[in-house]
Amino acid sequence: MKAKKEAQITKAKKRKKTTPPQYYTKRNVVQFVGLKILDPFDQKRIKDLFYQHAIEIEREVKTINKIRVHFKEYEKGGRKKYSVQLLIDSPMRPITVNSVYSPVQWDPVAIVHKLIKKARSQIIHKFKTDTPYKKAYN
């Protein structure tokens, strides 16, 4: 028994330590303000959503200094309404995206989806990153 355990330990030591693939961007880049007003299940869903989509945003902008997300809660007619603001700080130009006031705002995760989509479209518009080929007249 001892020989088996020792063999397993030496095999484990000999294996190379590999770093896991980075599916998410650096977690210290994304800062959440006021996220504690949401329930823990929504907090986890929103964080995972941002970490996944921050890669796409970073691919468009190239370098991101900080992504800041502000959550505010309002009550209208006994229901909770959420306002979310997204600030992407890049070396070229900062990008600010506010949530659109629509019926979607009763669900915080749906707001974040719309906000990320709007941010990507603003990045493409401002930095002209969606050009698949070089135009002859430029």
- All structural domains of the chain: 27-127 (3.30.160.100)
Mean pLDDT (the chain) is: 75
According to the model, what pLDDT value does residue 20 have? 45
Each residue of 53-100: pLDDT tens digit? 877 788 888 778 888 888 888 877 777 777 888 888 888 888 888 865
- Assign 122 a pLDDT band (cuts: 50, 70, 90): confident
Tokens 């961007």 sit on residue: 25
